[in-house]
Structures are given as structure tokens and as C-alpha cells.
Amino acid sequence: MPLLIICNLSLYRFAESVIPYLVDYGFDGLDLDWEFPAWGRFRSKPEQKHNFTLTLQALRETFDNYTEKRVLPKYLLTTAVASTIPLILGCYEIPEMSKYVDFINLMTYDIHGFGKTTPFTGHNSPMYSGQSLLDKTIFYYYNMVNIDFIYELWVEHGMKKSQIRVGIPTYAHTFHLLSEKSHGLYSLATGYNTTLGDEISRALICKLLNDTSFKQVWDKDCAVPYAYSGTTWISYENKQSVYMKVKWILENKYGGIMTYSLNVDDYVGQQCGEKWPMHRNIFNAAKKYSPIQ
């Protein structure tokens, strides 16, 4: 994407080149996934932050020009965006983005995973802040990054609630504990579980949880579960956490729900007792809590 943004002309050529794909395949629109403008390899180029806005503008104007001339339904323009404070504030011109996108798909997952600077267990997609002494002291920053806080930050900086779709993960993160005796939140880990892999599918989550050796724990403050057995620790979603997320989304009048991703739900019904268990939970929760029946 950064190499594409050389001049205004190339942006509009790119936007025009997208339309045949939308037409030929009957797509409703385009979702941009640039991770992330003015960051990573291109962090030294702060102009990419503005260039991303220009890209959205070119796509919006080109799409609208095409559909208005032909009296067609408007093409959707959405983009996947970050959920950490430095990326939110450093990568996006939020009020300008709001003018051009129909929705942002907020990636409120991978909030915590094992890393060199985070060698401890943590929640993949916490709903709220924890309330323990550790949460409020040593792990204050990690605890502050949660769905409730992140969405308020986006709204505070200029994105409309109705434009924000909340990301719910269908996968789990694994950790390999340093010691079996220390298995709570923020327990030291040596890495992810090398047998299972860093990210595991819903089918594998169900398989593990069906094993009686796994102890499942509900974190009432963060409103998410975790489970452990021996030196294996996983952060995942269950029916209760999904229902609480969906209820919160609807009560706060956000624009909808995005999942990541379809292919890691148990779409065969191999281990979870039904097909698409995560997406069924989301759908059922939306039916239950929707103000429009």
C-alpha cells in the first residue's frame, strides 16, 4: 500500500481499478487492511498518516461517482484499524477518516500475546479493566487497553459510534507457563505453546476444554475466560463473554460486529457439538439483546 501512494493520480487509478472486481463478483464494497500507516517499516514516514486519508478519499469519491451515475446502491468502504493507543493516535486522522468510511472494523483482539517485552499471560480481547492491585500498578498500561477504553478513545477523537464495528476473535492465544504452580493472569511464560501454536482454532479450543485436565476460569472484572492445564495456558472467548460483548455493543449503539475470522470457527462442527458455534453465539446474542425485534 505505501508504494502505491506516490501521487494523487495513482490513487485514483487504483480506485478505478477496484470497481471491475466489485461489479464482476457482486461485492458490496471494499475493506482496506493496512497495518499500519506511518508505522513499522514506514514509521519514519509520518506523511503516510495523511496519505491513508487521501486513499480513503479517492476510493469514496470514485465509488460514489460510479454508483450515482448508474443509480446503483452505494458501495461500502470500510477499513480494519488498530486497537492500541500508540497506533490509534499515531496512524490515523480520525475526523477526516470519518468523512469517507462507512465503517471501521476495529481489531479489538491480539491486545495481549507473548512477546519479548510481554513475557507473561494476558487476555486476547478483554472487555473491561481488571481491578486487582497488579492491574492498577505494575500492569497498569496493559490493563488500560481493553474494548471499553479503546472504543471510547476512537469516539473521543472523532469517529462516530455508528461507524464503529467491534471485533470479536474466534481463535485463542496460547502461552507456555514458566511454572505449573503459577497459572493466573500475568503469570510468567516462556513463549507460546509450541505444540499447539500461538493461535488456535475454535475446534481445537473445544477439544482442549473437553479434556477434564483443563481448568476454566472466569475473570469477572475483564469479562473474559482463560483456561490452563499443566504448563499450557489459553486466552479465548466463551458464550458468556460473547453475550456480554454483544450486549455492550447494542446498548452503546455501536455500528455492528466484525469477527476474526470465519475460517477458524468450528465450521464443520467437529469438536464443539455444532457448526459455527462462535458465530451462532453472536447471532443469538444479537437476537436476544437487539432493541429492534
The structural domains of the chain, with segments of one domain joined by +, span 8-169+238-289
State pLDDT tens for residues 228-271: 999 999 999 999 999 999 999 999 999 999 999 999 999 999 89
Query: 3-state DSSP call for residue 267?
Result: coil
| Rounded mean pLDDT, 76-104 | 96
The CATH code belonging to domain 8-169+238-289 is 3.20.20.80
Average pLDDT over residues 279-286: 97
Would you name the residues annotated as active-site residues? 35
pTM comes to 0.92
- Dist CA 243 CA 28 (whole Å): 28
Quickly count: other Cβ atoms within 10 Å of residue 41's Cβ.
Answer: 7
pLDDT (average), residues 283-288: 95
Give dist(CA 66, CA 30) in Å, integer.
14
The CA angle 172-173-174, to the nearest 5 degrees, is 120
Do the bridges between strand 172-177 and strand 199-200 make them parallel or antiparallel, or are there none, so unpaired? antiparallel
- Phi, psi values for residue 185, rounded to 5°: -65, 140
Environment class of residue 277 by beta-carbon count within 10 Å: exposed (0-12), middle (13-18) or buried (19+)?
Answer: buried
- Kindly indicate the confidence band of residue 70, based on its pLDDT and cuts at 50, 70 and 90: very high
